[in-house]
Amino acid sequence: MFSATFVPPGEDPDQKSIMDSEFMKKAFHPKDIGAGFAGCVGLYVLLTIFGLPVMLVYGMVRGWGELPHYRVLEVVGALLGRYDFEKKYGRTSFLQNAPALLAGYYTGVGLISMATIAMKLVKSAVSAAPF
């Protein structure tokens, strides 16, 4: 696994860095980086000209990597947010609090998953003990 602190075995970390390796020299393609930058700027300009939200790009890119059945639940959640929660709590209040709700949800999911992993590890350690 390469990282910014990787130095091949037998080489002095003070003298060499990952940026000196052939791997990194082959990994960086200035033309591709420039094309990506130009594409992003062009897309931003195009969206601005047509008055579309810039976040549309992030949603599209994220959506390309998702499985189709995740999109159904996402659309249901968006409809609930738009037609139920915005009416109940007010548009401004709901839109201001939605990121905090999402962060809280993902924090809870992370805590629950880490707790279950910890319990599984403890169970494995206890059941494997030679008593």
Q: What is the pLDDT along the chain (131 residues), one digit of tens a residue?
A: 456 566 667 777 677 666 666 777 777 788 988 999 999 899 889 989 999 888 877 777 777 777 888 888 888 988 999 999 999 999 999 989 988 988 999 999 999 999 999 999 999 888 765 65
Instruction: Confirm whether 1 is domain-assigned.
Output: no
The number of distinct structural domains making up the chain is 2
Distance CA 101, CA 77 (A): 13
Instruction: Confirm whether 6 is domain-assigned.
Output: no
Residues 82 and 119 in one domain: yes
pLDDT at 128: 63
Residues 84 and 127 in one domain: yes
**Could you list the residue range(s) of the whole structural domain that residue 75 is in?**
70-131
Residues 20 and 60 in one domain: yes
Q: Residue 16 contacts by C-beta under 8 Å, 6 or more apart in sequence? A: 7, 8
Residues 43 and 93 in one domain: no
Torsion of CA 41, 45, 50, 51, to 10 degrees: 90
Token reading at 129: 């003990």
Residues 58 and 103 in one domain: no
Instruction: Confirm whether 43 is domain-assigned.
Output: yes
Instruction: Confirm whether 25 is domain-assigned.
Output: yes
Residues 127 and 99 in one domain: yes
Residues 93 and 108 in one domain: yes
Residues 57 and 74 in one domain: no
Point out the domain boundary residue: 65, 83, 99.
65
Q: Residue 2 contacts by C-beta under 8 Å, 6 or more apart in sequence? A: 18, 23, 24
Instruction: Confirm whether 20 is domain-assigned.
Output: yes
Residues 82 and 127 in one domain: yes
pTM greater than 0.75: no
